[in-house]
Structure 1
Amino acid sequence: MRIGLLGTGPWAELAYGPALGAHPDVELTGVWGRRPEAAADIAGRFGTRPYRDVDALIADCDAIAVALPPDVQAPLAARAARAGRHLLLDKPVATDVAAAREIAAAVEEAGVASVVFFTMRFRPETAAWIEEQRAVAGWQVGRADWLGGIFGEGAEHSPFANSPWRREKGGLWDVGPHALSVLLPVLGDVADLDGSLAAVSGAAGTVHLAMRHVSGASSTCALSLAVAPAAAVTAVELRGAAGVTAPPEGDTDAVTALGRAVDALLESARTGRPHPCDIRFGVRVTEILAAAQARLDGR
């Protein structure tokens, strides 16, 4: 499959470029970015060509992979889908519900495949654990803590610390999708966005979510990008009739996980069967996060 890469930031350089460039069933057609010099640099690293015109790259490929800020990603993804291109998107697909739904409408109308890359869902250790827990009855409580320190006082520099959209939107929008991607497939969708979702803010830019799921279980999430580095943690836990469980430790890196997301896109395009992490799931994550943001904003 000929896949074009949109984006030239750290995630494109560290994950998307290596994963696409190394995949045996992918031809990395080219790279487009808002900074032509950066597109030329990344294209050179991965043995492909830079494009100055995004529509020219879309025209030359079968699919696009997007490593751009969510609200830059959304209109370009809808544009590519309307052109008949499959989509490999990053989370969140947008921070505006209407923009996310526009992508979904374009995908449905064009009949193309879509996969949204949630890192944990494409790590084999976590994916297997999620499937095991889906088969277990009686989960009552879930918890997901995604507390990062990239903006915390005294943090060592991270390439993602230069991301304006992460600094503006915070942990709710950056790591919130990861938490939801693990909790929702086991506990079920949020029962309703009006009466089954609460959100409050705390110190260090922390957002706390409380949700009631259609299964009857409840869950909480603590999300931040700005805790003290010593307080940073990623932890998931489920409690119920079967006891207590947490995902196993694993060493699958982001590039390998993204390669599995590419596999999923290829399979979905070949068979026509939607993947569980397709654009519809991406839209639902945006809807939940947007409802949480409205609570935080007093709306």
Structure 2
Amino acid sequence: MSEQVAVGLVGAGPWARLVHAPVFAAGPETRLTAVWARRPEAARELAESYDARACAEFDELLDVCEAVVFAIAPEAQPPLAERAARAGKAVLLEKPIAADPDTARRLADVIDTAGVGSMVALSARYAPRVREFLAHLESAETPWRTGRLTCVTGAFLGGPFAASPWRQARGAILDVGPHAFDLMSVALGDIVDLRADSAGAGWAALQLVHAGGAVSQLVLCCSAEGGHRYDVDVSGSAGAATLDLSTAIDGSAFAVLRAEFASLVRDGGRHVCDVRRGLYLQEIVARAEQQLAAAR
């Protein structure tokens, strides 16, 4: 790529500091040009760390970048992403892409109408080892029949994301659910039905039915004090395949994400993890949340 893509970062919270800012400042495909956040002092501190411009207004950020990367709460993301799309900027969206399906649908429509590129930061989908695992599943001569994904962490009990209001209010389904639903639907087929149950204390168990008849189970919790794990396995007449996602998703995933986002900005086209994929996952999350609410 002959010239680095000028990226504007929206947000200055933990994810922006830990991932987005260092990843897009590192290049070689991109450079971090500007930062805007609701807290000007946080934006200024983050921008200064990477010799970027701290913008007082969101429109100022749009004026100095080619593409916009979001690292903000789901309820705050859609209106700003719509403004970015209407300004002709490609967008990298955080998951979930919105707080509810109707807002997510509007965002997808605005991006499509604007004709700009979009990607969703589904980190597992950019990890080379995860891609190898999914390619192996796709190459099987006989269909996979069952699957299981477990994501059990203590992220809501301590660390940089424990103070996140939307995570504490909506739980693991909205936070890690998009990742889980995405991986299982790629591995076994589109999700056509689901049942969600809760054991309380932030635990959710889901049974999924996939197009073609495969079934899978998910166990999600981000408030577990111990026994942390993040893994996936599938089985069928061809045998079994398993992957430890906690080690498979590393810094290489974000290098791939950066390169593919820069290519999207320069070359156009659509990415498999675009805003429509985000909408698909948002709708599944909503169905699971409705079932959990009805069971209370």
TM-score in terms of structure 1 length: 0.92
- Residue 286 of structure 2 is aligned to residue 294 of structure 1: no
Deviation string, structure 1 residues 68-118 (Cα, Å, up to 9, x no partner): 011111221122111111011111111210111122111111111111111
- Paired residue for 2:60, among 56, 62, 68? 56
1:226 to partner: Cα distance: 0.8
Whether the 8 Å CA contact 2:173–2:220 is kept in 1: the answer is yes
Tell me the distance in 2 between the aligned counterparts of 1:254 and 1:111: 31
Q: Which amino acid aligns with 2:21?
A: G
Q: Given the alignment, which residue of 112, 137, 141 partners 2:146?
A: 141
1:216 and 2:213 matched? yes
- Give the Cα separation in 1 of the matches to 2:247 and 2:123: 12
Deviation at 1:249, TM superposition (A): 6.5
Instruction: Give the AA of the match of 2:170.
Output: K
SS for the counterpart of 2:224 is: coil
Q: 2 CA distance for matches of 1:114 and 1:237?
A: 29
Distance 1:119 1:106, change over 3 A: same
* Cα displacement string for residues 198-233 of structure 1 (whole angstroms, at most 9, x for unaligned residues): 1111132111111111121111111111112x2221
For 1:19, the equivalent position in structure 2 comes to 23
Q: Does 1:199 align with 2:203?
A: no
Aligned residue-pair number: 290
Equivalents in 1 of 2:263, 2:188: separation in Å? 26
Check conservation: 1:149, 1:226, Cα contact below 8 A: yes
Structure 2's unaligned 5+ residue stretches are none
The Cα of 1:135 is off from its aligned counterpart by 2.3
Amino acid at match of 1:102: R
| Identical counterparts, % of pairs | 36
With the length of structure 2 as denominator, give the TM-score of the two structures.
Answer: 0.93
> Which residue pairs with 1:266 in the alignment?
262
The alignment's C-alpha RMSD in Å is: 1.7
Matched residue, 1:2: 6
| Cα distance in 1, alignment partners of residues 16 and 62 from structure 2 | 17
Q: Give 1:245 deviation, angstroms.
A: 0.6
CA contact (8 A) 1:173 1:289 kept: yes
